[in-house]
Amino acid sequence: MGLAAYCGKRILVGLAMILSVQVIIFLAIQVVPGDPVEAMMSEAAHVGADVIEVMRQQFGLDQPMPVRLWRHMVGLLSLDFGTSFQYTQPASDIIASRLAVSIELVLLASFFGIAGGVLIGSASVQNRLGEHVFSFFGPIILSIPGYVMGSILILAVPLSLGWLPAGGMAPFSDPIAHMRALILPIVTLALPIAATIAKVTRFEILEVRSQDWVRTSRAYGFPTRVTFRRDILRNALTPVLTISALELGGLIGATVLVEKVFNLPGLGSLLVQAVNMRDYPLIQGAVFVISTFYITINIVADIMYGFLDPRVSKR
């Protein structure tokens, strides 16, 4: 199989996965007990059944499920997720207004997590003290859930030391306050990524370092640092690319609870609110963005892997 055919096949598989996720999510939220109109009207007093029925017709909930599924799938072609039940606005506009915070959080956390993981993993191989420190703290970081880590950081830094804000988001017009508000959420998301990448990097470096061609390079008299940087580290980072793509793809899903813990107006907190209110258009739109991001990152990683190792595309 040529590289172009390999890329085309991966893209088609990705599109099929995105559509399959939307069908599954649509069917899943339909079978959940409860009515979205009744959930919105729960706090209103003396709402008659005729009013509820009119609202169900307004939102299209009176139509058969196959009809609603078809309208939803057709709307995806123009990124039209429908009208939000609780906001009575296009769900795409609401998602777009929340997406910037989540994207910024994901990009910064992934950058520091991946870069820090590679540095820690490579340093733990060359330094005995670093190896012991990583072996002790790595499993601890990976075993703590994100919302627990965020709560611990809030208790330790803002509440005990008073150094950083405990939550909320400052506007972009105040860059210093804006970045101060993002430090703890970024650390919460980046720590498990760094621990995972460091573990994989260390394992791959030890694996590559034991190869015969590395010993041959040293036998020719090349300096140790040159051999490590040019030969060992470059070859060890190829598998790290795949793990980084998986971590980056899953990161936007991990922001759901972290945004809730730190009270950030991002896509994750919007999804939690939409689930509580059974706002079907918002749920489907938010899941579409998250799943598309995750699948796209993995497809790009597969294609890059095909460029780095032609044997992958041939298989």
Would you state the pLDDT for residue 243?
76
Look at residues 304, 113, 106 and name the one whose alpha carbon lies nearest to residue 199: 113
Residue 233 has pLDDT above 70, yes or no: no
CB atoms within 10 A of CB 173: 7
Taking 70 as the threshold, does the pLDDT of residue 52 lie above it? no
* One-letter identity of residue 301: A
Q: Taking CA 259 as the corner, what is the angle to CA 257 and CA 260, rounded to the nearest 5 degrees?
A: 60
Rg (CA), the chain: 24
Q: Which tokens sit at 61?
A: 């909930």
Predicted local distance difference test score (pLDDT) of residue 41:
64
* Total length of the chain: 315
What kind of architecture, by CATH, is found in domain 100-268?
Orthogonal Bundle (1.10)
**Token pair of 84 as six digits:** 């939000």
SS3 124: helix
pLDDT per residue as tens digits for the range 257-293: 787 778 888 887 788 878 877 888 888 888 888 888 8
Q: Please give the pLDDT value at position 104.
A: 84
**Given its phi and psi angles, is residue 89 left (phi above 0), alpha (psi -120 to 50 degrees) or beta?**
beta
Q: In sequence order, what are the residues at sequence separation of 6 or more whose Cβ sits closer than 8 angstroms to the Cβ of residue 86? A: 40, 274, 277, 279, 282
Q: What is the pLDDT of residue 20?
A: 87
- In terms of C-beta distances under 8 Å and separation of at least 24 residues, what long-range contacts does 72-78 make, across chains too? 72/22, 72/26, 72/284, 73/19, 73/22, 73/23, 76/19, 76/22, 76/288
* Token pair belonging to 191: 């720590």
Portion of the chain with pLDDT greater than 90, in percent: 0
CA distances from 32 to 25, 126, 168 (A): 11, 53, 31
SS3 47: coil
In contact, 144 and 255? CB cutoff 8 Å: no
More confident residue, 207 or 97: 97
Burial status of residue 263 (CB atoms within 10 A of its CB: 0-12, 13-18, 19 or more): middle
Whole-number pLDDT of residue 9 = 80
- Report which listed range, 73-82, 164-173, 263-272, 281-290, is most confident: 281-290
